[in-house]
Amino acid sequence: AAMPGFIGCKLCPDLVFVRPNFGRYTHYSGLARKVFQRYDPNFFATSLDEAYLDITEVCSERGITGEEVASELRDAVHQETGLTCSAGVAPNRMIAKVCSDINKPNGQFILPNDRDAVTTFVSTLPIRKVLYSKKVHVRYGSVLLAHYSFHIIFHIFTLVRHLGYDIFHCTVLHRFVI
């Protein structure tokens, strides 16, 4: 759960720790990555259980939607590994990551590649959801939140753009294997 053990023990005194099996994790991650490669040979894996795929070309070549690709890909991962996974389809990686968390476990969320839909969606997010990937940005965002009492990302939309994020890039599929 990406939580330190001592905090987990405080929250759940009967917590049982299971010894990790990284060989097994690596094996199943490799199987999932073979599936990803079929959809985007240049996919970007951020860890054993998370990867980003640009599905723009697949959608265009096959005349299908991002939703159909996500569903197909999730089914293929399940068939190959026996594991379920979640997916988010959005105009860029940052937003796709957030979308992948919405219908967990074993679900998907599709955000249309439309400026109004994206702006509306992003405007409701806490800053920590959007600026998760750069520690310095999260710290800067947290300072802004504390100092100015901003509660939603809409108020710092210009900051996000100033930091170099282009939220209207190509369609990106974020994959998160559970």
Report which of 28, 165, 142 is spatially closest to residue 96, judged by C-alpha positions. 165
Residue 72, CB-side half-sphere exposure with 13 Å CA sphere: 15
Q: Which two tokens stand for residue 24?
A: 């097994």
CA separation for the pair 39, 76 (Å, rounded): 11
Q: 50 an active-site residue?
A: yes
Backbone angles phi, psi at 98, to 5 degrees: -65, -45
Task: Say which residue the tokens 């802004």 belong to.
Answer: 144
CA separation for the pair 43, 173 (Å, rounded): 10
CA separation for the pair 64, 139 (Å, rounded): 40
Just list the catalytic residues: 50
